[in-house]
Chain A
């Protein structure tokens, strides 16, 4: 039998501590699961829109305390929205009617472990605003219900065309009975702001547990600086844009002088 070397001892202690910490973590995790019936978290809580941003995926993962279905709802920051309708004026298509909605989520997507109509009652879908058709969109002015329905549908359709409202329900996959995960996709034109990721545990058609996790979508680096400056110091931004253009034009004129 070999005596452990000094380094071996250190490594052993570290491993032991790590195991202990892991155990402790596991116990807390289990306790939380017990108390909450479900835990979920995101692979990242920040989506950074850099100059090279072309869209990204965030993984949501979690565990339940037993058999059940899971639905994930992602909502972007709520903003006022205006839907305009074109009609023919002198043969030209022109915006003539408009409806203002006091707020609509700038992003909305749903993922579920099974088709929604099989796991949850219609009333619960509406209460939790799961899926674009169930979103609560109230106009600022009173409107004929048929007109309202047309404008609401148009809002959702436009958002879906921009890829910001999901057209179908994404898949939540289970590993065994308890562990689940899903990928949430955010396209390149994703609006910035504070997002809400809601995980629902559903049993017998009713939501038995819910957990919300925040997610920040933010411009980072050069594009963030440009945007901030354009918004908050517009005059400086304008002056810099003009000076930059003059310098570039001058440089180009000088560089190609002999060509």
Chain B
């Protein structure tokens, strides 16, 4: 069944897009990540213009994070105060990101900027996750290994504007969560991802937040950054395809429910290693595209005065 996408201006197979949404939803439910980092490259792969893929993905992630945060909210796993401080940074970051996005789009460098940031972030985070999870698996097999320090003080904790976050039992500078938010916001705008894979480790290692609150709080603030990104992309770059978002959303929501069930049966380290493998795989594929000779070194864009 073919469906015409009004903003992407192309016709796609609805079942294919639903299936893609379902598959990514399944993985995101299984590993507890947004899955945007997989969806955007997939959309580009089936021929959706990269700019539209990123804008639409932001819209789809609003729905995914709302449904995700509900479960965490019911269990009280959301630190609203910390989330609000993060999202102030996040909205600023989104604004900066959308502005950069527009400039790059006019310069004709948006495609390479998207690919490069994917290769950089996915490669780095995926590599680190891979190391950490394989170490954890080895450590579990040889229980004599030493445990690291629980809490470390680094220069980041000496920043001004200290604030107390009761829910997370933290007394830290407000600049820290806000700064993480800014980076997350930029990523939402340029890469079309929630940025959970970057926010979650940052919140654990930089803020020393209790692990139980991390997922819920990051999802909580992702709702607002993705919503801001959707609005700004729609208003300035006209790159949000509501039709495509709807198809992805339906597939994603259903897939996520099954993914969550399967994910609860897999041990944490193994799930993280699997996720890391996928992340590194995507990064390598994109890096290959960057260096391999293209089909045609000339490209055409029309209608932009």
Please list the residues of chain A having a beta carbon within 8 angstroms of any beta carbon in chain B: 49-55, 79-87, 91-95, 98, 104, 106, 150-151, 154-155, 157-159, 161, 188-189, 191, 219, 222-224, 226-227, 230-231, 234-235, 237-242, 244-246, 248-250, 252-254, 256-257, 259
Contact = CB atoms under 8 A, between A and B. Distances in A.
A237 B230 CA distance: 10
Given A85-B297, A158-B298, A191-B303, 6 more contacts: A54-B4, A81-B300, A83-B298, A223-B243, A235-B231, A245-B60
A158 B299 contact: yes
A93 B299 CA distance: 12
B6 A224 contact: yes
A80 B238 contact: no
Contact of B67 (A49, A51, A227, A252): A252
B291 A227 contact: no
B112 A94 contact: yes
A54 B6 CA distance: 13
B299 to A, nearest CB: 5
Interface residues of B, number: 58
A55 B291 CA distance: 35
B235 interface: yes
Interface stretch (B7-15, B138-146, B187-195, B276-284): B7-15
Given A226-B6, A245-B63, A86 B297 contact: yes
Interface of B: 2-7, 9-11, 59-60, 62-68, 70-71, 108-109, 111-112, 116, 223, 227, 230-236, 238, 240, 242-243, 245-246, 249, 253, 257, 290-294, 296-305
Nearest to A106: B302
B298 A85 contact: yes
Nearest to A246: B66
A242 B300 contact: no
Contact of A230 (B63, B112, B234, B292): B234
Contact of B242 (A50, A91, A151, A241): A241
Contact of B235 (A85, A92, A234, A256): A234
Contact of A248 (B71, B238, B253, B303): B253
25 contacts: A52-B3, A53-B4, A80-B304, A84-B108, A85-B298, A92-B116, A93-B293, A95-B108, A154-B298, A155-B298, A158-B296, A226-B243, A230-B7, A230-B234, A234-B236, A237-B240, A242-B59, A244-B242, A244-B246, A245-B249, A248-B249, A249-B62, A249-B70, A252-B253, A254-B70
Helix, strand, loop or mixed for chain B's interface?
A: helix
Contacts of B2: 52-54, 188
Contacts of B71: 253
Contacts of A249: 62-68, 70, 249, 253
Contact of B238 (A154, A231, A253): A231
Contact of B231 (A49, A83, A239): A239
Contact of A95 (B3, B5, B299): B299
A219 B108 contact: no
Contacts of B111: 95
Given A82-B108, A235-B235, A253-B71, A245 B230 contact: yes
Contact of A157 (B67, B236, B238, B298): B298
Nearest to B290: A92
A80 B305 contact: yes
Nearest to A255: B253
B70 A230 contact: no
Contacts of A93: 290-294, 297
